[in-house]
Structure 1
């Protein structure tokens, strides 16, 4: 259940943010080989880590698509346009024909490197319980990257949510779908893809990125005419 911020935009609770971020990391993190199978494992790799999601930029961009179904639908239409994948068209139509663009949309602020929302509170929940380990890359003078290691406990928790918590079924489905959409792409690539959206790019720094649902609906309707199907 969401609350409303003083600016009128919906907001999630700390616990909801923690679960969403855990599910994103579980869906998008790259599996790690067992330590015994690696001749020279990274010295700072947590001993119980099973997967890693590299960079805060990547995590933020994946979170943007989960939190903004209208932008996700437009990206799906881009995939449909590039590859002719009808499943991407159907997924975009399902999003726009539902109430997702209204009740599932949690806007993010535009900063220097695109969409951003502080993840510190959510990550504090995950790290304090041993579900995720955050590692800083760089030096004490300049941290250039954060990596997020999913532990065995974190994987078990994500799997348990999938099996036993139907209330979070939406986020399980969305995070897995977004992870497939971004498979193999670094955070800077995802950032560039999102900057191709004029509304995203032109949002003033420090302001919330607005909805593009009406424009995406018009685009979907045009494709529906071409395909000879009903868009709603």
Structure 2
């Protein structure tokens, strides 16, 4: 991971783009585990400090990081559901939607059977190679479907996340993972996916196709709510 910052910041040719994207994905997942993971119990191997017990929760959190307009939509929903009392939610939505962020930070995700999805194996393999995180899976029976996926952050991973959070341009990923972790709260992956499905563009996306952005709709809604203050 020593050259990670330089590689993410550099203008690479097409031959290196996939490798850079894999490292960027690994950093994003590292921050998700660090900011949204739960402290481990006493029955886990030594050296593991945090865990997310379900892949669906990671996928839902990752979707909000990769799609700022959908994150802003959720912030506005929370603002209205809370009786419009917490103006910080409105401010945060405005920050997320400011400038060109919804386009510059957008990393589209495909719609599959259970909503937005992108395989995490490459990112986790990168993190595991460096001793930063470990993926453990339980199966229903030998050679059968996966029963549970547990994503563990190691002590080394937590230290690396703290180190990378101080380095530009990775600070944005750390800050955004913190915000999304706060927005997600302790809700399980199914509950988060249900919220995301309530947006028509997400719900109606065709199987195997990119989920379309909603920037214009969110911008209009944000402007209307600001006028009502």
TM bracket (short chain): 0.7 to 0.9
- Deviations 1:103-138, CA, capped at 9 Å, x for gaps: 000100000000001211111101121111111123
Q: Which residue of 1 aligns with 2:64?
A: 65
Q: CA deviation at 1:167?
A: 1.4
- TM-score w.r.t. the length of structure 1 is 0.87
- TM-score w.r.t. the length of structure 2 is 0.88
The correspondence for 1:20, drawn from 15, 28, 48, is 28
Q: CA deviation at 1:143?
A: 1.2
Q: Is 2:142 the partner of 1:129?
A: no
Paired residues of 1:46 and 1:149 also in contact (CA < 8 A):
no
Partners of 2:69 and 2:40 lie apart in 1 by: 33
Which SS does the other structure have where 2:34 is aligned? helix
Taking the TM superposition and a 5 Å limit, the aligned residue runs for 1:30-49 are 30-33=38-41, 35=42, 41=43, 45-49=44-48
Q: CA deviation at 1:12?
A: 6.4
- Unpaired runs of at least 5, structure 2: 1-7
1:117 to 1:91, Cα distance in 2 relative to 1, 3 A: same
- Deviations 1:163-221, CA, capped at 9 Å, x for gaps: 3x121111111000000111111001111010011110000000000100000011111
1:12 to 1:113, Cα distance in 2 relative to 1, 3 A: farther
- Unpaired runs of at least 5, structure 1: 36-40, 228-232
Partners of 1:123 and 1:110 lie apart in 2 by: 21
Taking the TM superposition and a 5 Å limit, the aligned residue runs for 1:101-180 are 101-139=102-140, 140=142, 141-163=144-166, 165-180=167-182
The correspondence for 1:203, drawn from 198, 202, 205, is 205
Partners of 1:136 and 1:225 lie apart in 2 by: 49
Q: Which residue of 2 aligns with 1:188?
A: 190
Cα RMSD of the aligned pairs, angstroms, is 1.9
Q: Which residue of 1 aligns with 2:80?
A: 81
1:130 to 1:25, Cα distance in 2 relative to 1, 3 A: same
Greater shift after overlay, 134-143 or 169-178? 134-143
